[in-house]
Structure 1
Amino acid sequence: MTKLAKLESISGSCVDGCQTSFRTGNAPWRGCSASGWPALSTTCRNIYHFKTYAECTGTGLLLGWQSRELTWYCSSLALK
């Protein structure tokens, strides 16, 4: 529970805008685009401020992401 609370405090503020599924008005779309699956997404945002791939995948496991989601999302962050 402590780890989840820490993640919430880091990502809950929507600093630099929240990730969204759809565009809102003239605001830029923010989030990961799965439309090019399995290609990596250049629009993924590192909302948890991961410093390493291992940190990203470890957090993803904690949050219940599927293994293909872990690999895709965490690898997409390397495109930044």
Structure 2
Amino acid sequence: MVLFEYSPFGVIGAVAPSTNPTETIINNSISMLAAGNSVYFSPHPGAKKVSLTLIARIEEIAYAAAGSVTWW
């Protein structure tokens, strides 16, 4: 038995580790945003600066591609 749900789940909280924060954020962004969900990232304090820089860049790319991005 297989269940396919083609609707977004809503807002997803994602915790980024300090060991590989950029890879985790990129992977989560691609997967979750492609499915139509919103993502709230909570970066590790040790990787906060690089994580916030990457998240800002992803927001710019998403806005350029889709024309709208929601900031909380």
Taking structure 2 as the reference length, the TM-score comes to 0.30
Taking structure 1 as the reference length, the TM-score comes to 0.28
